[in-house]
Amino acid sequence: MWRFVTILAALAAAVFAAEPPNPPPERWEGQVRAYEAQDVKSPPPQGAVLFVGSSSVRMWKSIPEDFKPMTAIARGIGGSQVSDQIHYADRLVIRYRPAQIVFYAGDNDVWAGKTPERILTDYKTFVAKVRKALPHVPIHFLAIKPSPRRVKVWPQAKEANRLIREYAGTEASLTYIDVATPMLGADGAPRTDIFLKDMLHMNRKGYEVWAPLVKAALEAGATKAREGKKPPK
| Gyration radius (Cα) of the chain, Å | 19
Return the CATH class of domain 29-222. Answer: alpha beta
3-state secondary structure the chain: CHHHHHHHHHHHHHHHHHCCCCCCHHHHHHHHHHHHHHHHHCCCCCCCEEEEECHHHHCCCCHHHHCCCCCEEEEECCCCCHHHHHHCHHHHCHHHCCCEEEEECCHHHHHCCCCHHHHHHHHHHHHHHHHHHCCCCCEEEECCCCCHHHHHHHHHHHHHHHHHHHHHCCCCCEEEECCCHHHECCCCCECCCCECCCCCCECHHHHHHHHHHHHHHHHHHHHHHHHHHCCCC
Q: Is the pLDDT of residue 16 over 60?
A: no
In the chain, the N- to C-terminal Cα span, in Å, equals 63
**What's the rounded Cα separation, in Å, for the pair 126 and 80?**
14
**pTM of the model as a whole:** 0.89
**What's the rounded Cα separation, in Å, for the pair 1 and 83?**
38
**What's the rounded Cα separation, in Å, for the pair 166 and 143?**
12
Nearest to 145 by CA among 109, 176, 107: 107
Residue 3 confidence class, pLDDT cut points 50, 70, 90: low
- pLDDT digit string (tens) for 105-163? 999 999 999 999 999 999 999 999 999 999 999 999 999 999 999 999 999 999 999 99
Rounded to the nearest integer, the mean pLDDT of the chain is: 91
- Using CB atoms within 10 Å of the CB of residue 14, give its burial: 0 to 12 exposed, 13 to 18 middle, 19+ buried: exposed
φ, ψ of residue 172 in degrees (nearest 5): -65, -30
Mean pLDDT of all residues in 183-210: 98
φ, ψ of residue 99 in degrees (nearest 5): -80, -35
**What's the rounded Cα separation, in Å, for the pair 119 and 160?**
7
Q: Is the pLDDT of residue 81 over 90?
A: yes
Higher pLDDT, 11 or 63: 63
Question: What are the extents of the domains in the chain?
Answer: 29-222
